[in-house]
Each structure stands twice: as C-alpha cells, then as structure tokens.
Structure 1
Amino acid sequence: MTADIGTGKQRHIGRWIAVSIVGVIVLALLAAIGWYFLRIAPSVEQTESIETAFPEESLRPTEDPEAGDAVNILLLGSDSRAQDGSLLTDLGDRADTILVAHIPPDRGTVQIMSIMRDSWVEVPGHGMSKVNAALSLGGVPLMVQTVESIIEQRIDHIAVIDFDGFENLTTALGGVTLTNDIAFSYYGYDYPAGEITVEGEEALIYVRARYPFSDGDYQRVYNQRAFLRGVFQQLMTRENLTNPDRVADIFAAVAPYVATSDTFTLPVVLGLAPSIAQLDGSDIRTFTMPTLGTGMEGSQSVVYVNWDGVEQIRAAFAEESMDAFEPAPER
C-alpha cells in the first residue's frame, strides 16, 4: 500500500515536472517570437505596401484545393527610386528584372525562374506585347495576371526591390559570394570567372551589366540568378539564422527599399524560413523561361518564348515535388 502511494506521488511529481518544462519552453518560444516582432516590426513598417497588387478574382487561375500548398512569389527589380519616394511610380519604365520564385509543396527545393523583360507574350486585354509592358499598361495587377497566365498558377506574394536595396543587402551580409560564369569588366570593376565576392556598388554593377556581353540580357539574367543563389546561401547560414540581431539588421538595411503585397507579411516570411533553412545550395535552382531567340516585331526588338518548354515548366510547377526537375540548357 505504501509503495503504491509512493509510486503515485512520483508519477504526479514527474508529470508536474514535465508540464513545467513544457511551460517554460513555450514561454521562452513566445518571448523569442515577441522579441523578433518587436525588433523587426519597425523595419517592416518602412516597407511600402502595394495597395492594389492582384487582379480581380475572376481573372485569376482557379484555386485547386488538391494542388497542395505551393508558394509562388513574383519578384520585380526596379532600377531607381522615383522623386516622390515611391518604388511604384513609373515602375513600368524602371522594372527590368522579373523573377518567379516557386516553392513546391514538399519544400524540397526553391525554383527561381527569370522572365526576360522583352519576352513576347499575350498581355491580357492588350494583345501581344513585351511582358514588361504589362506594368505600363496596367500596373502590378496586370503584371500578376500576365505572369499567372504564363505559369498557369496563382501568384501568392509580390515584392519589388529598388537596386539601392541590393547594395544595402550585400553590405549587411558582409558581401555575397557567387560563381561568375563569364569574366568581364564594367564601370571600373573587374569580375573574373569563377567564385567571386561582391558588395555594395560592385554588386549593383554586377547585376545590372548587359553591355559587356554579346547576348546582352541573356547573360544579365543569368548573372542576376547567380547573385540570388549567393544571397540565399548567405542568408541561410547558421550564423544569420541563429542570431536575432543579425536578422534584424538585415531587415533594417533592406526594408526602406522594398514594396510588398499585403499578403507578404512577417508571419508568412517567418513561417517559410524554417523549411527553406533546411536547403543547401544545390536545392536552389535557377533558370530562364525557355526562349527561341530574338527577333523584331515592328520597330521593337523582342525575345520569342518557347511555349513547348513553358508547358513543361507548368507541369513541373503543378507537382508535389520538383526534386527531379531539370530545366532545359540555356545556351
């Protein structure tokens, strides 16, 4: 009888200790999350909001409840800030980088697809035109509608970054290491082939350069994706992910130069971070939307889209996993 009572007390004490430990862990996690929000929130408030980011629901691909929870993020790079301080003013004339980041449901990879700004596509309601013209003709909502019609999936989030933001990001990261495909020199900077580290203005010149190359924009978008791979790898280091002050400093450096849709909130970003943090460099894959080369449409120099190749990308984007996806060679 006494032994049973002792065992019962031990079990009660054991449960109490377990509950207490769990409680302490939960409180610690809540405190950490609260600290993140308090530390980062002021920077997030500096980001510009794209008030009307998406087209009418009737103009968008239908949501498929069976399709899983893939995430598609439209990234637009702007070449300078307008005088009124808004990233969105005259964006149609200034956005020359268009990328779709696709995170499949299994979170096993990140696919970053460049869409060349001169791609000759159907702009809804306006006929065939350069894809970049969608911004001039209908702003961000028409660009979203145009891209959604290309990939046949919904865009979940949108981010516009001014190139000054690129400079500040590289400085906050202490430089970005990347693999440079072709050696070139531009505006006083030398970029040898192979592994290089760029920072500040040197990084900005790297992602903007196209005149040093015989194929112009083709090599530029290739270099931009090499830069993005380097940024991802640098951001996702243990040093950055485990240092709240480091994360806050990076947010503060970039936030004034970013505009986002109201769907791209801090909780959303923090929700994606753990799964993306599991990835290594080989899981971040970049490619250009397939093309058939350049040509002329009237007085415009355009890039023709390889729609058979796009159909393969649409099919891959609709899959649960993209581990086996291999984009067609670009050159």
Structure 2
Amino acid sequence: MGKRTRGRRAPLRSRLGVALGTALLVPALAAAPAAADRVRIDGPVNLLLAGIDPRGAHVAPLADTIIVAHVPADRHGVYLFSLPRDLVVPIPAFPKSGSAPQRTKINAAMALGARRADGGYDPAQGLELLARVAGDVTGIEDFDAGAVVDFRGFTKVVAALGGVSMPIDQDVVSEHRKPDGSARDRLPECRAPGSGCLRPYTGPQKRYPQSAAPVRLKPWEALDLVRQRYGLPGSDYDRQRHQRQLLTAVARRLGDARPGELRRVAAAVTFVGGPHSLLDWAAALRSLDADDVTTVGLPGAPVFDGAGKYLGERLDAAGFFRAVAADRVAPYLVDHPTAVTFD
C-alpha cells in the first residue's frame, strides 16, 4: 500500500468527513496540531475496510465485510461499494503465511494471509493478502490505506459515539438477538459444539421496523442490524447495503465527535496506512464531506456447481471497475445509469 507524494505545508482542519475515509482517519485529528508540515498525497485514493468476526488471536479471521472507498483525484466526493464476502475468486500463494494458491470465497483471503509463524493470526498481515485479491477483482493496482475492525471493535466505535442514527430502509428481523439484546436460545440439537446447524437459534427475535426517519441505534443494535441477511429479499446484498448506510452514518457522527470520543474510536481500529501516518491521511482528505458520499450496490448473482450446490457469488461489474481504476467513476455513472444501484 503506497502513494506518490510531495512535501507541502497544509492545515489540519478539525472536521474530516467521508464514510470509510472518516472511519479510518478522523481519530488522528484528536492528537493533531492546528497546523503542521504534512506530506501531500496526490492522485486518486482507494481505501479498503475489512470487518472480521473476533474469535481470538489463535483462530483464523474471516472478512465478513469488505468495503472499498474510491476518492477521485479532484477530491470531489467519494464512492463506496462492497465486495460480497462469498465472491468466488482465485487467491494467490502468500509466502508470509505459507498459504498455497486456491480458488475459494474472498473472505478466506484474510484468514489465509493472517497466519503467523508462531501459529497466531495477524489481521493487518491478512489485510495485505485481502487487498491483493480485492485489487485483482477491481483492477485497483494498489490500495493506499486500509483498516480492520472486529465486531467488538465496531461496537466500541459506536459506543464511543454514544450510539448512531440512521433510517432503516426495510423491515429486518434479527437471527441472533432477542428484543432485549441477549443472545437467542439454541435448538436442543444445535447446542453441542460442531453440531453443524446452519440456523441454530429459536425463540423471540429483535425486530427493526422500516423507518424513513432516522432511528437511534444502541451499539449492539447497530452491529446486529448490519449482520442480518436471513429473511431479506436481497440476502447478502441487502446486508451489504445496510453496512454501507451505517458506515456513512458513523462518518457523519464522527464529524461532530469530541477529542475523547475520537481517541476511543482510534483504539478500536487496526489501521494500515502504508508509508503515511494517520495525520498525513487526515490532511490529504481534509476537504471531504460525509454528505458528499455516493454508496452503490454492484450487480451480482449466485454461482452453482453442476449438481446445483451453491458455491458463492460472482459480480457483473467489469465496466464499473474499469471506471474506478481509470478514476472516471462520475462520468461512467452518468453514461451508464443502470450499471449499479444507489443506496
């Protein structure tokens, strides 16, 4: 991860907005001076965010959420899109972890790349392989920065901000939580470790009714909402949209956050910025506004084998990816208004 640079004296403003860019970089402002010598980062910027399920340092992390933010060279707006976690892709060999080349779901790239020589797992190292695979999919030669946040870390981010508000665009029923936020009970046959139950829960469920007006979500509610796919007509594609919507809502809230809140957010995120510090990135994206975010859904479809077994997902977004790589997303969307869906 890296980007061409040249020196320039630039002020650090107290406000940095824009979905993923904000989620990654606003924490730097908590410790930033009013003005400082910073490195200028020119050209388009591509940022990668991976959300992982925390299962301990000795369990391989899977990237359950993969979101890309493309910031044009002219810094006019930002484009957010997701890669389905079940996207079937070739994953190259990765000498750092000793993993062999294979073709599987993209969320496995984080796990394959994260393994350390001592048997533990390093999410930042896993992000390196995930970025390589995501680059192969999108045509982005090199991501400029990225971050990894696990479920606990995400809950801490929202808690540090005192909750977050967002509209809910469809009725959502939780697979995992009761109305009071406690975990749902398991079916008797699914209680033993390794039972293999796909949907092991039973009993009352937390519900999130559709609402055009923003709904105030507690930290556990925010995480629970964006984890859901069962019962939604678009399944994982609906879940991806909700994740982008929530990320944008968090970004807007971060724009008004106090220094203490920002420090708590920073502690919950693993940041990978290449040769540049958080302050460099904060300065580079200081003019962006969270109200100027375009979040898009990419067209995809399921992949089955000859016997009808589900293998994963594919995307039909080659034209959009070429526009991202060429930094021509805005004109592409004007010329191809039905190529993607808008959140």
Name the TM tier (shorter chain).
0.5 to 0.7
The Cα of 1:221 is off from its aligned counterpart by 0.8
Q: Which 4+ runs in 1 deviate beyond 6 A?
A: none
CA spacing shift, 1:175–1:118, aligned 2, 3 Å: same
Contact conserved, 2:229 with 2:236, CA < 8 A, in 1? yes
> Counterparts in 2 of 1:74-153, with a 5 A limit?
74-80=48-54, 82-83=56-57, 90-91=60-61, 94-125=62-93, 126-138=101-113, 139-153=126-140
Aligned partners of 2:29, 2:66: CA distance in 1, in Å? 32
The Cα of 1:289 is off from its aligned counterpart by 3.5
The Cα of 1:210 is off from its aligned counterpart by 1.7
Q: CA offsets, 1:163-190, max 9 Å, x none? A: 2222222222232222211112322233
- TM-score when normalising by structure 2: 0.65
Contact conserved, 1:81 with 1:162, CA < 8 A, in 2? no
The Cα of 1:280 is off from its aligned counterpart by 4.8
- TM-score when normalising by structure 1: 0.67
Q: Does 1:190 align with 2:207?
A: yes
> Counterparts in 2 of 1:176-187, with a 5 A limit?
176-186=164-174, 187=177
Which residue does 1:303 correspond to in 2? 313
Which residue does 1:272 correspond to in 2? 284
Instruction: Return the letter of the residue paired with 2:261.
Output: I
> Counterparts in 2 of 1:240-319, with a 5 A limit?
240=257, 246=258, 248-263=259-274, 265-276=277-288, 279-281=289-291, 283-291=292-300, 293-297=301-305, 300-306=310-316, 309-319=317-327
Which residue does 2:144 correspond to in 1? 156
The Cα of 1:269 is off from its aligned counterpart by 3.2
Q: CA offsets, 1:125-155, max 9 Å, x none? A: 5353211222233333321111111222220
Contact conserved, 1:165 with 1:253, CA < 8 A, in 2? no
The Cα of 1:115 is off from its aligned counterpart by 0.3
Gaps of 5+ in 2: 1-8, 15-26, 33-41, 94-100, 114-125, 180-205
Which residue does 2:158 correspond to in 1? 170
Q: Does 1:233 align with 2:224?
A: no
Aligned partners of 1:115, 1:233: CA distance in 2, in Å? 23
Contact conserved, 2:153 with 2:269, CA < 8 A, in 1? yes
Aligned partners of 1:127, 1:252: CA distance in 2, in Å? 40
The Cα of 1:123 is off from its aligned counterpart by 2.3
The Cα of 1:231 is off from its aligned counterpart by 1.3
CA spacing shift, 1:221–1:257, aligned 2, 3 Å: same
Aligned partners of 2:29, 2:249: CA distance in 1, in Å? 29
Aligned partners of 2:223, 2:254: CA distance in 1, in Å? 18
Q: CA RMSD in A?
A: 3.1
Q: Does 1:212 align with 2:182?
A: no
Aligned partners of 1:81, 1:260: CA distance in 2, in Å? 19
Q: Who wins on radius of gyration, i.e. which is larger?
A: 1
CA spacing shift, 1:251–1:280, aligned 2, 3 Å: closer
Q: CA offsets, 1:61-116, max 9 Å, x none? A: xxxxxxx61111110001225156xxxx512xx32001111111111111111000
Count matched residues: 255
CA spacing shift, 1:115–1:38, aligned 2, 3 Å: closer
Contact conserved, 1:109 with 1:323, CA < 8 A, in 2? no
Which residue does 1:40 correspond to in 2? 31
Q: Give the structure with the larger helix fraction.
A: 1
Aligned partners of 2:28, 2:310: CA distance in 1, in Å? 48
Aligned partners of 1:40, 1:297: CA distance in 2, in Å? 53
Aligned partners of 1:37, 1:319: CA distance in 2, in Å? 27
Gaps of 5+ in 1: 1-25, 42-67, 241-245
Question: SS at 1:108's partner residue?
Answer: coil
